[in-house]
Structure 1
Amino acid sequence: MASYDVIIIGSGPGGYVCAIRCAQLGLKTACVEGRETLGGTCLNVGCIPSKALLHASHQLHEAEHNFVHMGLKGKSPSVDWDQMQAYKGDTIAQNTKGIEFLFKKNKVDWLKGWASIPQTGQVKVGEETHTAKHIVIASGSEPASLPGVEIDEKTVVTSTGALALPKVPKKLVVIGAGVIGLELGSVYARLGAEVTVLEFLDQITPGMDTDVARSFRAILKKQGLNIITGAAVQGTEALKTKAKVTYKLRKDGSDHQIDADVVLVATGRKPYTMGLGLDGLGVKLSDRGQIVTDSHYRTSVEGLYAIGDVIDGPMLAHKAEDEGMAVAEVLAGQAGHVNYDVIPGVIYTHPEVASVGKTEDQLREAGRAYKVGKFSFMGNGRAKAALAAEGFVKLLADKETDRVLGAHIIGPAAGELIHEICVGMEFGAAAEDIARTCHAHPTFSEAVREAALACGDGPIHS
């Protein structure tokens, strides 16, 4: 039996970041992970492998559609799916081995196996029980499904199965038009699949700024994704060589059926706490199965904390990372803090979509007086040179104080550009502060400045 100051359960972005920060702050730390590699869902079967496939398939799209415009002529590359999968695997390995190196560097013990908490202050891994002053649950989430939809990870798959299909399907049906569904749908559409996306709601990407969602849907349609909104999936049936999906259109109640080689179920995720023994400990859970915590990530059980996807809030890797650092600082006697009003979200399609802060719909519903600064990438020289001028930057600021309340970007490098706004919001910046900050020319970031100028006297290039 080993004794620790802190044991973290789960080595995903929340868990491994928490473990490293705890060790850096002088706490004797261990992290429990049952996979063969560290990094959790994100590094193994989520964020990282999906970005590898998104990057590879985008390069193919560029070669097929844009190279000729740049004077780059020749035969378009063919897809070697096995090699693409090997590239994806190498990307995963580099990242997961990197976490293992960081654990050794920071003297974090990796307790290999699946954890349970037999009683307060104890963590059982395999046949060994370890003690700890503090236990942090960072066990993440798992894919959610729908009634009538049976997942076999062969024909009817989650994101995990979709990342490792034996071949590119001719027909792919995606259930759910959220981040995961649209990213993986984009991958396979670029690789030649006929992709149909079924979404229960009337808008794709629920919660997204309405202007951005409308533009995003039009762009995806132009890229070949057939998106059907207002579609209530009734069930799936896996046949010998294909699958059948039945759905009902909410607007008129009509029944429909569609065949596919593969069905991707991308209807969200749910907290994963199986096997931890939370019921026996008396840990309070919400109606959605999330662990209830206070502002310092303490659960209803003394000495037990929780972060990331198992608690309330957006299921984002970087949100979990911030919580991991915050709870480590709390355990070390410091004041850990996460600003939940400034957590960006990104969809890594092409163009990328990124947002932070309030949407216009939220401000309108709250009765907040605001102003909008909007600038199209068609007015950005760098975007036009890169043949990537679709989309816009939309900045929302308080009507009286000019303080930035939110930003929504659809366009090239949106996932990078959004962080200028994040930093500004952390320091209470006004739109004028961004507008008066010199931006290098020519860069995509000038579109952000122009949107800020549009909150005042007006942009220059529009």
Structure 2
Amino acid sequence: MKKVDAIIIGFGKGGKTLAADLAKRGWKVAMIERNDGMYGGTCINIGCIPTKTLIHQASETACLTHGDKDAEKRHYREAIEKKNALTAMLRDRNYHNLADDPNITVYHGEGRFISTDAVSVALADGGTLELTSKHIFINTGARSVIPPIEGVRESRHVYTSTTIMQREKLTDNLVIIGGGYIGLEFAAMFAAFGSRVTVLDNHSDFIPKEDRDIAVSVKAVMEKKGVEFRMNARTESIRDTENGVRLSCHDTEEGYSYEIEADAVLLATGRRPETTALDLAAAKIETDRRGAIVVDSRLKTSNPYVRAIGDVRGGPQFTCLSLDDYRIIRDDLFGNHDRDTDDRTPFAYTVFIDPPLSRTGTGEDEARAMGMDIGVVRLPAASVPRARTLEAPDGLLKAVIDRKTGKILGATLFCAESGEVINLIVMAMKTGQPYTFLRDFIFTHPSMSEALNDLMNQPMA
């Protein structure tokens, strides 16, 4: 059995950053990754980078193809090629960033626990290796949930968010099962490429975690761009046909059944922590009912030798949080022990539809349900000069403000460039600034960020 200073299972954002940091400190690090197509983690291979590359390419489609169906399909193939080239470059760079470090050994194989401080690695070349360490980090990410729909596993036309991006032919007619954020991003993307898109959502309320005025605005804009939504839709079976696939569905509110035909089906039904091959029981590591590894505020598991990083520990699945997990571990190992998971709120997220939807903090509906004394300010995106110059007038900006303190409790920006602008609100919230700080700040002109001047100057409702 080989002893090392640290074992990291999974080549994701937090794990790879931690490996590089430990190596600089002279630690001998073993990095284990079972899939050589996943060096660098979910983000650069099957998540943020490839999807946002395709979303950007999709946004250019109308200008480049002018509605020509053959041109749309050609542009889609070119977009897939660009995505593949980018992810291959980033994957290779990520691999060599670690593998070329003399203090890091990258093992291509599958790791599983054989005791509380030891891991067996089934190497891809057929060999087996056993490693031991007092510092083990699990960074294995998450995998797509395959719902128990009759025929779903037998169909040749059903895809996950990973496999559909490997499809080189643009689908003419796409059905997406799941109306969450992943489903919405793919719906917006394929609609922009020219596909007919239908989203089957089993909820009665559209994006139920968002305020109702925001949800109404998002749905209306996406419908205007050609996306059809069917709410209360339960998919009961999937059958391949001569020309594609047929879905049998049931409206759980109205009580009737119907069928939909498509060329392809995308499952956007969530992602689950990837722990199946780890044999966590051998390491006495606890998981919750969803299979996520249970951790404390400093990411320690029930095993004192093991910590969990990123999606595998449950909660919001964002690359930025996986990176912050690394920072918390670094501080706990080498710093002042003043960072933990409670320290990083508020944080923001963005759904890259068109325009993007960004959110931070407490929403209006949530605040009112809690009985908080709040004021709400709203601003149509169409009133922002920069939105007009970008020819992106759709959307709505809003913020929730504590009437007593003037502090910003939360904000939702459904507008062009919201993924950048939301960070300014988060910084104001994090530093305890009142809403008047953004109301009176001097922003560049014309910019989407200066919309915060007008938003924070609106009369409170």
TM-score, reference length from structure 2: 0.91
Residue aligning to 1:36: 36
The answer to whether the Cα contact below 8 Å between 2:27 and 2:103 also exists between their aligned partners in 1 is: no
Helix, strand or coil for the counterpart of 1:84?
Answer: helix
Cα offset, 1:14, TM superposition: 2.6
Q: Name the CA shift for 1:28/1:387 in 2 (closer, same or farther; >3 Å).
A: same
Residue aligning to 1:70: none
Residue 370 (structure 2) aligned to one of 359, 366, 369: 366
Cα offset, 1:86, TM superposition: 1.3
Taking the TM superposition and a 5 Å limit, the aligned residue runs for 1:138-157 are 138-149=139-150, 150-151=152-153, 154-157=156-159
Cα offset, 1:341, TM superposition: 2.7
Residue 118 (structure 1) aligned to one of 111, 114, 119: 114
Residue aligning to 2:125: none
Residue 337 (structure 1) aligned to one of 337, 340, 350: 340
How far, CA to CA, are the matches of 2:90 and 2:208 in structure 1?
31
Greater alpha carbon shift after TM alignment, 156-165 vs 201-210: 201-210
Q: Name the CA shift for 1:366/1:340 in 2 (closer, same or farther; >3 Å).
A: farther
Residue aligning to 1:99: 94
Q: Deviations over 1:301-355 (max 9, x none)?
A: 1211112112231112211221122123223354233335322111111111110
How far, CA to CA, are the matches of 1:325 and 1:30 in structure 2?
19
How far, CA to CA, are the matches of 1:234 and 1:96 in structure 2?
38
Taking the TM superposition and a 5 Å limit, the aligned residue runs for 1:206-355 are 206-335=208-337, 336-338=339-341, 339-355=343-359
Indicate yes or no: 2:397 matched with 1:393: yes
Greater alpha carbon shift after TM alignment, 234-243 vs 387-396: 234-243
Q: Deviations over 1:208-262 (max 9, x none)?
A: 2322211010000000000111112222223343111121112211111101110
The answer to whether the Cα contact below 8 Å between 1:25 and 1:332 also exists between their aligned partners in 2 is: no
Superposed CA RMSD: 2.3
Helix, strand or coil for the counterpart of 2:166?
Answer: coil
Helix, strand or coil for the counterpart of 2:376?
Answer: strand
Indicate yes or no: 2:80 matched with 1:85: yes
Q: Name the CA shift for 1:297/1:233 in 2 (closer, same or farther; >3 Å).
A: same
How far, CA to CA, are the matches of 1:168 and 1:78 in structure 2?
6
Q: Name the CA shift for 1:4/1:424 in 2 (closer, same or farther; >3 Å).
A: farther
Cα offset, 1:136, TM superposition: 1.0
Taking the TM superposition and a 5 Å limit, the aligned residue runs for 1:420-431 are 420-431=424-435
Taking the TM superposition and a 5 Å limit, the aligned residue runs for 1:171-190 are 171-190=173-192
Q: Name the CA shift for 1:370/1:109 in 2 (closer, same or farther; >3 Å).
A: farther
Helix, strand or coil for the counterpart of 1:125?
Answer: strand
Helix, strand or coil for the counterpart of 1:296?
Answer: coil
How far, CA to CA, are the matches of 2:357 and 2:345 in structure 1?
18
* Aligned AA (2:79): M
Q: Name the CA shift for 1:116/1:76 in 2 (closer, same or farther; >3 Å).
A: closer
The answer to whether the Cα contact below 8 Å between 1:230 and 1:251 also exists between their aligned partners in 2 is: yes
TM-score, reference length from structure 1: 0.91
Unaligned runs of 5+ in 2: 123-127
Taking the TM superposition and a 5 Å limit, the aligned residue runs for 1:49-88 are 49-63=50-64, 79-88=74-83
How far, CA to CA, are the matches of 1:27 and 1:396 in structure 2?
47
How far, CA to CA, are the matches of 1:264 and 1:145 in structure 2?
11
Q: Name the CA shift for 1:78/1:306 in 2 (closer, same or farther; >3 Å).
A: closer
Q: Name the CA shift for 1:349/1:62 in 2 (closer, same or farther; >3 Å).
A: farther
Q: Deviations over 1:62-115 (max 9, x none)?
A: 44679xxxxxxxx98772443322111111022222322432469543222111
How far, CA to CA, are the matches of 1:340 and 1:217 in structure 2?
31
The answer to whether the Cα contact below 8 Å between 1:113 and 1:125 also exists between their aligned partners in 2 is: yes
How far, CA to CA, are the matches of 1:370 and 1:207 in structure 2?
19
The answer to whether the Cα contact below 8 Å between 2:76 and 2:193 also exists between their aligned partners in 1 is: no
How far, CA to CA, are the matches of 1:382 and 1:106 in structure 2?
50
The answer to whether the Cα contact below 8 Å between 1:151 and 1:158 also exists between their aligned partners in 2 is: no
* Aligned AA (1:111): Y
Greater alpha carbon shift after TM alignment, 360-369 vs 121-130: 121-130
Unaligned runs of 5+ in 1: 67-74
Residue aligning to 2:4: 4
How far, CA to CA, are the matches of 1:62 and 1:331 in structure 2?
52
Residue 433 (structure 1) aligned to one of 408, 432, 437: 437
Helix, strand or coil for the counterpart of 1:200?
Answer: coil
**How many correspondences in the alignment?**
449
Indicate yes or no: 2:136 matched with 1:109: no
The answer to whether the Cα contact below 8 Å between 2:73 and 2:170 also exists between their aligned partners in 1 is: no
The answer to whether the Cα contact below 8 Å between 2:23 and 2:101 also exists between their aligned partners in 1 is: no
The answer to whether the Cα contact below 8 Å between 1:154 and 1:161 also exists between their aligned partners in 2 is: no
Helix, strand or coil for the counterpart of 1:388?
Answer: coil
Cα offset, 1:385, TM superposition: 1.2
Residue aligning to 1:71: none
The answer to whether the Cα contact below 8 Å between 1:79 and 1:191 also exists between their aligned partners in 2 is: no
Cα offset, 1:284, TM superposition: 1.2
Q: Name the CA shift for 1:444/1:153 in 2 (closer, same or farther; >3 Å).
A: farther
Residue aligning to 1:72: none
Q: Deviations over 1:338-392 (max 9, x none)?
A: 3353221111111111101111111111111111122222221111111111112
Helix, strand or coil for the counterpart of 2:184?
Answer: helix
